Amino acid sequence: MTDLTGTMPQLIAAAASDKKAFDIQILDMRNITLITDYFIICSANSTTQAKAIADHVDEKLAEQGFKTLRREGYSEARWILLDFGGCVVHIFLDDERRFYNIERLWGEAKTQLYDE
């Protein structure tokens, strides 16, 4: 995948990392689907951490002028989805992530592991 430094996916990944999200991946969806340009997928150890990651991503993107278009799964916080239009963020509890394995479902996407 091309260098994503300074782009929305990179901002999202950095914000998730700030709250200790792990196994952060950026999937380039531009040539695969019309629903979004990127998926950012990450894992959390607890529902409290998942909510903290979601809140922090919302806050950091709002500071850059990006608005959350849709938010799902926040109350249960086992799989939180944040939709920013060009980017969709998936915040999973680790066991939920392994169960749904959306990386496999979108296996043809170019993937970049986020590394600070």
Flag whether pLDDT at 106 surpasses 90: no
How large is the average pLDDT for residues 104-112? 83
What pTM, to 2 d.p., does this model score? 0.90
How large is the average pLDDT for residues 50-62? 97
Flag whether pLDDT at 16 surpasses 90: yes
- The CATH class that applies to domain 8-113 reads alpha beta
**Where are any strands of DSSP class E within 50-116?**
70-72, 79-83, 87-93, 110-113
Look at residue 3 in the predicted model and tell me its pLDDT. 41
Look at residue 116 in the predicted model and tell me its pLDDT. 65
Q: 116, 90, 93, 115: which is closest to 105 by C-alpha?
A: 90
Q: What tokens were used for 1? A: 């995948």
Of 9-23, 61-75, 82-96, 97-111, least confident by mean pLDDT is 97-111
Domain boundaries, the chain: 8-113
How large is the average pLDDT for residues 27-48? 94
